[in-house]
């Protein structure tokens, strides 16, 4: 619900449990008055007492007698060069060559529903009753640049989204040097900043640090959201835990260069801005042209980090993931990569399929190595035609389907090998800049998908495969960062538009794919989890979480990923890694989409029996894991010895609890306290006659001292409500 108090000049945006309040100050300055737990009050102008001018802070010429200064005010969308010396949300270079920007309130519009963002991924609603939207139009009176701030408020979850649409209504060209999607000013620095850093095979590692005076935050300049940082951050009230305390969550629906920057000024107050990274970004706006920023997602919870995560999970499950596979049960797959790498042929993969069928697996995925002359990683990216010396794809696909399995295939559409027919024919299609020799990474270049002719060629090659063979699943990989980032079609004036145009090109390709083949199950990948972001989830319902399939290493990766992203999006497989037994491998992989990365023909009979049991459990617990609420009971960043998590059905009638002993610690007694149950209900532990109240399980806990007491041990406990 969105209300506007005409007399008080205040916008009040309400989700079921939160309020976001914006005020129009004198001279059309837009201020953020409050964001947090839902309030019945609409008039919050008394908070303006914190806006008095500090020494050396310039004052607005008209408001100078009042002592008001934008340098200490909670600006809703702060501009560059007009006296606010904190990090800005927007800067536009005008015809005079300076970047002074001054946006003032002009008008507003409130309407039911949520508009689409053409060319960009975004949260959506299926009917207008699910959401209300506010558009606030600001205008720079000198340049006639307008900025339309677009807020959407969801009625079924505590989520507010923001983005900005810029239009040059002037008569002279402008250059956007900075165009953030969102800004939030908070009247305190009493928070810890939580982010997710990492590298290849060690993605989304949890880090928490107190805010300090100055700048802090995360960014990517790699051309993708990256392994190194994720476009997610949280501000947790000092002392907030997994279950208690105020937490603000921030996530950018974008897969390219981003930044989330926090600044604590001399106040001390905290400003958080989020959007496209300003490094190597410049966008030309000719008169009449527009530019739309990516969408930013905002969450507030007064129930700690767990409460924040569950809001994100439900919102993304219901309002981000689309298409057939949003709710439909997905097939359990086996991938050929760790089983065979490049060393496979038709008969070997058919043998894999026969054994997979016996185990109950439903989908065989043929990974890298099926195209061009691809027998190693030095050649053929871009040549998306069948390597007939190695493979009879028609016979393979028919054989797999005759067994009753589905068939999947691997592509890396945004890459090109220097040793490829496509590169020899079109060397200018490689991402490059004049006068520089392109750098190699993983023996490959990046292909310029900012160009429509390149996209047409790549998509045409993909269609030639998908139209002629019955393909049920496609894995889309992206295996290097961008360097020498430029396009032969962009002149010097538009060269710094390349990174964003590249991302838009990727979105266009994936949009074409999902629209043309709506039944295709698409899984994104980027050397594992190098592009695990909500932008990718708009096109694919699941993403390969990491190339690291070691179950103990996976725990930190999956716990970190779960801060923002639901279990249904997390590709997780059992592999031949010998760090733990198959029971623990399966228990860890069950927290995700579930599948296998191994040679099924090499399994002994005991392991086959274990796999069959895991397959049965996948089907049994699928709905609980994919639609239930996640509770992180013991986090690996809090406890180096063990971790635990649970899924609770939305009706609180069922819970699946998993505990993993990472390193055994001698102890006499260990009671694991559950969460999310109904304290009045009684729950029976599967396989026993033990019955507990929900209150006992949550407040006293269940004894697990002797159930997982060796390194690498794990257990599952399944409780159902009775009576």
Q: What are phi and psi of 40, to 5 degrees?
A: -80, -20
Options 265, 477, 533, 629, the catalytic residue:
477
Pairing of strands 229-237, 682-685: unpaired
**Rounded distance between C-alpha atoms, residue 96 and residue 98, angstroms:** 6
Which of 44, 101, 52 is CA-nearest to residue 73? 52
DSSP run (H or E) holding 355: helix 346-359
227 torsion bin: left (phi>0), alpha (psi -120 to 50), beta (else): alpha
Told to judge if 448 belongs to the known catalytic residues of this protein, a careful annotator would answer no
A 10 A CB-CB count for 184 gives 21
Q: Measure the CA–CA gap between 451 and 447, rounded to whole angstroms.
A: 9
Out of 368, 547, 629, 713, which one is annotated catalytic?
547
Q: What is the dihedral of CA 87, 91, 93, 97, to 10 degrees?
A: -30
328 HSE (CA, 13 A, CB side): 10
Closest CA to 592 of 630, 566, 615: 566
C-alpha span between 3 and 23 (Å, rounded) = 12
Is there a catalytic annotation at residue 547? Answer: yes
Q: Are 246 and 238 in contact (CB under 8 A)?
A: no
Q: Comparing C-alpha atoms, which of 445, 446, 565, 457 is closest to residue 512?
A: 457
Q: How far from chain centre, in Å, is Cα 188?
A: 28
452 token code pair: 């429509």
Tokens (6 digits) for 160: 């507010």
The CA-CA-CA angle for residues 347, 349, 352, to 5°, reads 115
> Around Cβ 247, how many Cβ atoms within 10 Å?
27
In angstroms, the first-to-last Cα distance of the chain is 39
Instruction: Return all residues near 398 (Cβ < 8 A) that are at least 6 apart.
Output: none
- The torsion defined by the Cα of 567, 570, 576 and 579, in degrees rounded to 10, comes to -60
| Rounded Cα distance, 259 and 296, in Å | 11
Task: Report the distance separating Cα 51 and Cα 259, nearest Å.
Answer: 27
> Alpha-carbon distance 575 to 661, whole Å?
19
Candidates 501, 495, 526, 336; CA nearest to 413 is 526
Cα distance between residue 363 and residue 386, in whole Å: 20
Burial classification of residue 18, based on how many CB atoms lie within 10 Å of its CB (0-12 exposed, 13-18 middle, 19 or more buried)? buried
- The residue assigned the tokens 């393909």 is 471
Residue partners of 15: CB distance under 8 A and separation at least 6 = 38, 153, 154, 155, 157, 158, 159, 160
Please list the active-site residues: 477, 547
């Amino acid at each position: 619900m969105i209300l506007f108090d005409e007399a008080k000049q205040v916008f009040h945006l309400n989700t079921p449990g939160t309020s976001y309040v914006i005020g129009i100050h004198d001279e059309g300055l837009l201020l953020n008055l409050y964001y947090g737990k839902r309030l019945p009050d609409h008039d919050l102008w008394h908070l303006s007492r914190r806006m008095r001018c500090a020494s050396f802070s310039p004052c607005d010429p008209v408001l100078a007698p009042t002592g008001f200064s934008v340098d200490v005010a909670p600006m809703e969308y702060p501009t560059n060069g007009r006296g606010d010396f904190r990090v800005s949300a927007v800067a536009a270079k005008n015809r005079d060559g300076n970047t002074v920007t001054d946006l003032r309130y002009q008008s507003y519009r409130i309407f039911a529903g949520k508009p689409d963002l053409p060319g960009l991924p975004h949260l959506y609603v299926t009917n207008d009753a699910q959401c209300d939207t506010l558009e606030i139009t600001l205008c720079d009176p000198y340049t006639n640049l307008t900025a339309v701030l677009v807020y959407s408020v969801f009625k079924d979850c505590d989520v507010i989204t923001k983005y900005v649409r810029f239009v040059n209504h002037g008569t002279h060209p402008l250059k956007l040097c900075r165009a953030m999607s969102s800004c939030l000013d908070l009247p305190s620095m009493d928070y810890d900043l939580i982010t997710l850093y990492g590298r290849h095979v060690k993605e989304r590692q949890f880090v928490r640090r107190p805010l300090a005076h100055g700048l802090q935050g995360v960014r990517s300049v790699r051309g993708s959201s990256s392994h190194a940082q994720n476009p997610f951050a949280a501000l947790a009230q000092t002392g907030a835990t997994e279950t208690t305390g105020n937490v603000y969550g921030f996530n950018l629906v974008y897969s390219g260069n981003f930044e989330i920057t926090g600044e604590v000024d001399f106040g001390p107050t905290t400003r958080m801005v989020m959007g496209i990274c300003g490094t190597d970004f410049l966008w030309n706006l000719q008169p009449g042209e527009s530019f739309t920023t990516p969408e930013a997602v905002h969450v507030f919870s007064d129930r700690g980090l767990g409460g924040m995560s569950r809001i994100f999970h439900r919102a993304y499950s219901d309002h981000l993931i689309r298409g057939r596979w949003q709710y439909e049960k997905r097939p359990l797959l086996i991938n050929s990569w760790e089983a065979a790498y490049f060393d496979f042929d038709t008969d070997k993969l058919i043998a894999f399929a026969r054994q997979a069928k016996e185990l109950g697996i439903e989908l065989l995925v043929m990974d890298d190595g099926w195209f061009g002359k691809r027998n190693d990683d030095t050649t053929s990216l871009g040549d998306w035609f069948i390597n007939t010396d190695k493979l009879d794809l028609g016979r393979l696909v028919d054989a797999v389907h005759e067994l009753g399995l589905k068939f999947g295939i691997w592509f890396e559409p945004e890459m090109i090998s220097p040793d490829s027919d496509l590169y020899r024919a079109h060397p200018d299609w490689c991402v490059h800049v004049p006068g520089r020799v392109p750098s190699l990474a993983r023996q490959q270049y990046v292909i310029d998908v900012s160009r429509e002719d390149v996209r047409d060629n790549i998509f045409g090659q993909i269609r030639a495969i998908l139209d002629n063979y019955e393909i049920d699943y496609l894995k889309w990989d992206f295996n290097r960062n961008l360097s020498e980032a430029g396009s032969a079609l962009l002149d010097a004036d538009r060269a710094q538009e390349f990174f964003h145009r590249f991302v838009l090109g990727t979105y266009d390709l994936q949009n074409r794919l999902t629209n043309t083949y709506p039944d295709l199950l698409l899984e994104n990948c980027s050397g594992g989890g190098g592009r695990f972001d909500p932008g990718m989830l708009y096109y694919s319902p699941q993403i390969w979480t990491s190339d690291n399939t070691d179950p103990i290493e996976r725990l930190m990766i999956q716990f970190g990923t779960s801060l923002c992203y639901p279990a249904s999006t997390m590709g997780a497989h059992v592999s031949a890694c010998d760090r733990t037994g198959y029971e623990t491998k399966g228990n860890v992989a069950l927290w995700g989409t579930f599948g296998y990365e191994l040679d099924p023909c090499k399994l002994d009979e005991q392991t086959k029996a274990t796999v069959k049991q895991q397959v049965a459990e996948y089907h049994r617990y699928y709905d609980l894991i994919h639609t239930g609420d996640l509770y992180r009971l013991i986090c690996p960043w809090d406890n180096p010895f063990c971790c635990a998590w649970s899924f609770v059905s939305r009706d609180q009638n069922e819970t699946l609890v998993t505990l993993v002993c990472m390193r055994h610690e001698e102890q006499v007694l260990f009671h694991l306290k559950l969460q999310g149950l109904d304290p009045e209900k009684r729950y029976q532990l599967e396989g026993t006659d033990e019955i507990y109240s929900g209150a006992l399980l949550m407040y006293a806990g269940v004894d697990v001292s002797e159930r997982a007491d060796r390194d690498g041990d794990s257990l599952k406990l399944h409780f159902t409500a009775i009576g």
